[in-house]
Amino acid sequence: MNKRQYTPKERMAIQRCKMVEQDAAARAGNFKEVNQGLAEAVAIEEANRCIQCKNKPCIAGCPVAVRIPDFLAKVAEGDFAGAAAILQADNALPATTGRVCPQEKQCEEVCIRGKGGKGQPVAIGWLERYVADWGMAHASAPVPPATRTKYKVAIVGSGPGGLTAAGELARIGHNVTVFEALHAAGGVLRYGIPEFRLPKRIVDREVANLEALGVKIECNVVVGKTITIDQITSEFDACFIANGAGVPEFLRVPGENLKGVYSANEYLTRINLMCAYDPQPGRTPILRAQTTVVFGGGNTAMDGVRTSKRMGSSRAILAYRRSRAEMPARAEEVKHAEEEGIEFMFLVAPLAILGDDKGWVRGVRLQKMELGPPDASGRRRPVPIPGSEFELECQVAIVAVGTKANPLLTATCPQLKLNKWGNIEVDANQMTSIPGVFAGGDIVRGGATVILAMGDGKRAAAAIDAYLKTK
């Protein structure tokens, strides 16, 4: 136990720690994790930067309301087991969120240490990761509850929303079955987020922990096709739909079906889920290009462009139609990408993908943009600059401009009320228009984040438990 006591002045004098990172030039050529984690002494000192302020804005800034000051206090004392117990009680997937949450827009944005212009917030995300990893290394597998209820709950999708709900419900003692459409559990954590941001051993461990709790996971079950929601409601007492991100949007410009144009979903799935980075006979193939251009400005675009660099592109270019300030991507990813030699082209929009006479991508035609007045999203709208068109040579183009709701499940369940974009409508308790059927994550929100899906899963689990008690 670390007994060092800090005076308030000493506490305020501690500078925010630095994350140990894999060397940028080396990591641009491998898939190993970029962030190497904090050392124990560094974590303890960083946690001592928390002044245990009265209003605790960080808790309100967290979509799953982790008791951040409480777990930081334990870390500050060197009581990692105590910290892990608090963290794990509030957050089903802390090793994941510690790595992929946009902390700078959540807990850390509102941290009082970051206020006043020159201050820097406590590194809550890095400490969350430290404690979660410590927990995984030291804790034994979770023990299922001694008694089970008589209730059966089905979860559709094993992404962050589904896994969170499954864990919460299994801990209460409900009998939980998760249906996953793909051949491996994890959803976007498996097929979407690359190894260098979220090692798959973390996902494996989270899934194994749920199975140890008694959660049954059935892969290769495509709800809406293999079984329907009607079948689920006749066999289960409640259901949570968290089937995820849906159908990729394309650019609607000429040349989009040329060989060498991928949706980010396809590119990342081939590499992350299907391990195309490791060429072996019988493996899923992937195109490797000298120059790759990725369209978009979000986390998926960042994952795509950084992955293409690791797949051997000497130029990996992110083309975004707004400016840096409007990029939705996580700040740390942008910093990492720049260090890795990713080229950013801001204020450019695609006009066409250009092909050669054999149908292969040979480049893209772009138009320069300038920022006009704000649009519906509150961000300044990009406006084309006439006469500014230019061509950029590339062999692979990746489209990462968002997704729309996948009708695969909802088409076979007409009673499910949808909004005009095809997303499922829910009430404040995540319940859909069908009693006992709840939904959350991207199928409700459109494209969102891991932590928001987890928040939905947590809220839905509590509501499902309450609903079951009324049955």
Residue 162: name the closest of 230, 220, 244, 223 by CA. Answer: 244
Residue 422: name the closest of 408, 405, 409 by CA. Answer: 405
Minimal distance, residue 394 CB to other proteins, in Å = 10
Minimal distance, residue 278 CB to other proteins, in Å = 9
> Does residue 111 belong to the site contacting other proteins (CB under 8 A)?
no
Task: For the segment 265-324, give every residue that binds other proteins (CB under 8 A).
Answer: 265-266, 269-270, 274-275, 279-290, 312
Which of 114, 422 has the CB closer to other proteins? 422
Which range touches other proteins (CB under 8 A), out of 99-107, 128-136, 261-269, 433-441? Answer: 261-269
Residues that bind other proteins (rule: CB under 8 A) add up to a total of: 51
Instruction: Give pairs for 208-213: CB < 8 Å, separation 24+.
Output: 208/141, 209/141, 209/142, 209/167, 210/163, 210/166, 210/167, 210/170, 210/178, 212/141, 212/142, 212/143, 212/144, 213/142, 213/143, 213/144, 213/167, 213/170, 213/171
Q: Which of 219, 331, 385, 466 binds other proteins (CB under 8 A)?
A: 219
Could you identify the residue written with the tokens 């080396």? 26
Please state, in angstroms and rounded to a whole number, the distance separating the CA atoms of residues 89 and 417: 33
Minimal distance, residue 318 CB to other proteins, in Å = 19
Please state, in angstroms and rounded to a whole number, the distance separating the CA atoms of residues 363 and 316: 13
Which of 24, 182 has the CB closer to other proteins? 182
Minimal distance, residue 315 CB to other proteins, in Å = 13
> Does residue 408 belong to the site contacting other proteins (CB under 8 A)?
yes
What's the token pair of residue 136? 């995984």
Q: Which of 259, 324, 335, 417 binds other proteins (CB under 8 A)?
A: 259
Residue 443 is inside which H or E element, if any?
A: helix 442-445
> Does residue 388 belong to the site contacting other proteins (CB under 8 A)?
no
Determine the angle formed by the axes of helices 40-47 and 68-77, rounding to 10 degrees: 130
Which range touches other proteins (CB under 8 A), out of 140-148, 222-230, 323-331, 339-347? Answer: 222-230
Which of 120, 231 has the CB closer to other proteins? 231
Residue 398: name the closest of 277, 284, 332, 303 by CA. Answer: 303
Which of 59, 222 has the CB closer to other proteins? 222
Cα 133 to Cα 37, 125, 171, 332: the distances in Å are: 9, 12, 21, 20
Binding to other proteins by CB under 8 A, coded x per residue (else -) over 133-172, reads ----------------------------------------
> Does residue 227 belong to the site contacting other proteins (CB under 8 A)?
yes
> Does residue 73 belong to the site contacting other proteins (CB under 8 A)?
no
Please state, in angstroms and rounded to a whole number, the distance separating the CA atoms of residues 282 and 343: 33
Residue 317: name the closest of 348, 286, 356 by CA. Answer: 348
Q: Which of 19, 51, 112, 182 binds other proteins (CB under 8 A)?
A: 182
Which of 202, 405 has the CB closer to other proteins? 405
**Cβ-based neighbour number of residue 255 at 10 Å:** 21
Cα 431 to Cα 86, 133, 236, 369, 437: the distances in Å are: 28, 34, 16, 42, 6
Q: Which of 101, 245, 317, 366 binds other proteins (CB under 8 A)?
A: 245
Minimal distance, residue 205 CB to other proteins, in Å = 18
Q: Which of 125, 248, 382, 455 binds other proteins (CB under 8 A)?
A: 248
Chain contacts with other proteins (rule: CB under 8 A)? 181-183, 191, 219-222, 225-227, 244-248, 250, 256-260, 262-263, 265-266, 269-270, 274-275, 279-290, 312, 358-360, 395-396, 406-408
